[in-house]
Structure 1
Amino acid sequence: MGVSGCGKSTVAAALASAIDARFCDADDLHPAENIAKMARGEALTDADRGPWLQSCGAALRAEPKVVLACSALRRAYRDQLRAVVPDLRFVHLAAPQAVLAARLVQRQGHFMPQSLLASQYAVLEVPTADEALELDAMAPLDQLLDAVLRHL
């Protein structure tokens, strides 16, 4: 979990491969209306995220072993996902906003513009230590993967 550009998809795909699980990117579960809204530079509301979070929950329930890359910015969103999968675990990839803004400027072909990053930080409710493992998103992928595997 984390804001756009923190490396959720990269870390989640590597984890899924390491534990022989299905990888699912929550970006692929957004309704077309959400994608269009974000592409226009408009931040999503809680109402916009409702159907998307339901799709994320369904994806988590679909198979016994699923790794989902999902922003899950608010505790209420994480609680909604935990209601579907009670033993769900979260890893928060954290990094300074300026660093991720620079990453997003370089990213090609994604609907989420760099201009919405500040709105994601404004919505982010940083999870407590008992809710999620927090890792430095700037660490090398192999170190991140090792930390997640130890955590699990």
Structure 2
Amino acid sequence: MTTASPALVRLARPEDAAELLGLIRRAMALYAQNAGIETPLDAEMEDAADLQVHIAHDLVLVVEENGRLIGTVRLVQQDQDTIWFTRFAVLPERQRGGVGQLLYQAAQAAARKRGCRFMLLHTALSNQNLVTFYQTRGFEQIDVSHERGYPRGLFLKTLQEAGQETPSA
């Protein structure tokens, strides 16, 4: 009898790029469908080489289970205080099963460890399930734009107040 290995969060590696690309494309296709977005998403325009660059320069986390990638998020540091939470993707068949929560918790811990005070993200306001996911985790909508042809919210979460000590590892 074989036992399933538990899902674990780790840093993405260059050799993950092709599998990561497939995961992101599948998840983003469902995201666009759920949000009623008919224009191509930036995430759908990336290729494996683009992902390798992000893996080298940004903080790309993946959730691996039984040797298969089932979720990912990219954290892009804007400045000393601010990090972007982007390319959040979970395989469609694994959504609503805790993978996103696991990724979010790991991303938040990584951002705090880097001393970031703020986390920003964009999401389609028409995707109410995702908006609710972010709001229940402390994100507040601070702006909205229509430049991409749909209402896109800018959300902010304060991770730590100015002067607050970052916990040691």
| TM-score (ref. length: structure 1) | 0.33
**Greater strand share, structure number:** 2
| TM-score (ref. length: structure 2) | 0.31
* Higher normalized contact order (CA 8 Å, seq sep 6+, divided by chain length): 1
